[in-house]
Amino acid sequence: MLTALGEVEDSLSSILSSRERRSALDESVRAARNAAQLARLRYASGLSDFQSVLDTDRTVLTVEESLARTRADGVLAVEPVGRDRARLHYRNADGSHALFCGNGTRCAARAAVELLGLPQRLTVETDWVALPAEVDGVVVTLELPPPARPPREVELEAAGRRWRGWLLEVGVPHLVLPVDDLEGIDPALVAPPLRRHPDLGPEGANVNFVSPGVAGEIALRTFERGIEGETLCCGSGVVAAARVAMAQGAPRRLVLRPRSGDALTVQALGDPAGSPVRFSGSTRVVAELAPSAELLAGG
């Protein structure tokens, strides 16, 4: 606890400094992505070699990882509850409770294997359901249960336009909206009124903007509840987007690419309308923290 005025001032100064750094990194990420897009256009036009594309892609990854280190989407606590079973407790960045976090659960599975000594095939108990997981190095796969109900088509008026999309649950509610120009969408501007739209219920929903990507992939951007902003990758949003695409006739195995640029796969284990899916992708360590005993004790 802060007990002196000087400590309060130091803390406020640190918060302001962190916000300024995040703002600068946000701008760096935008600039790096624009440079990467330009490099790809120049390469496609024969004006530069592929090394320029690789260099700009590396720059994007570097600045995005730097940005990720300045913020967290939530906090996970993992404890062993059996020889091959772990219990996950999760809170959003704003302290609110969420039944499920897809990427958080994959990270929890990896942590349970590497830090708690559980086997590579294990079960992670979430506040939604218990999920089978498999850890293969940095790649973690979850098996999610069949949907309780199919995606529901919705039409919403928000942010000065009409939106057509689908509402469904993957542990938590998701609104999936197809758009023609994914880069032209400003989630900070258009997503908040959609996220809290009265037709979505009192708790609202995560908002996913989706668009066809290259080579049959699906590109998406997600604005998350509890974080109240766009995130680099929302795991349950990836699965929601895949479920919607499969309901529209897409193949049973899809590659989806969120804002982070990572390639994530969702594969239906049968008829997509009523079968489990395997959700797989890489994980990476962006920081290691050593909380003090005082912090862990709630002091």
Cα 270 to Cα 189, 274, 276: the distances in Å are 39, 8, 7
Looking at residue 263, the DSSP 8-state letter turns out to be: -
Domain boundaries defined on the chain: 5-69, 74-138, 152-282
**CATH classification number, 74-138, choose in 3.40.50.300, 3.10.310.10, 3.40.640.10, 3.30.420.40:** 3.10.310.10
In this model, does residue 20 exceed pLDDT 80? no
Which among 25, 60, 63, 101 is annotated as catalytic?
101
Which among 111, 131, 168, 234 is annotated as catalytic?
234
Q: Do domains 74-138 and 152-282 have the same CATH topology?
A: yes
Respond yes or no: is residue 107 known to be catalytic.
no
Element at 118 (helix H, strand E): none
**pLDDT exceeding 90 applies to what percent of the chain?**
61
Token pair, residue 43, equals 């390469």
Tell me which residue has tokens 């830090």.
Answer: 115
CB contact set of 139 (below 8 Å; sequence gap of 6+): 280, 281, 282, 283
Q: How far apart, in whole angstroms, are the C-alpha atoms of residue 178 and residue 163?
A: 9
CATH of domain 152-282: 3.10.310.10
Model pTM score: 0.77
Q: How far apart, in whole angstroms, are the C-alpha atoms of residue 129 and residue 259?
A: 27
User: Could you report the per-residue pLDDT of 148-181, keeping only the tens digit for each?
Assistant: 899 999 999 999 999 999 999 999 999 999 999 9
Token pair, residue 55, equals 């260099």
Please calculate the CA angle 39-222-105 and round it to the nearest 5 degrees.
110
Give the confidence band of 52 by pLDDT, cuts at 50, 70, 90: confident
Average pLDDT, the chain: 87
Could you count the other beta carbons within 10 Å of the beta carbon of residue 120?
A: 15
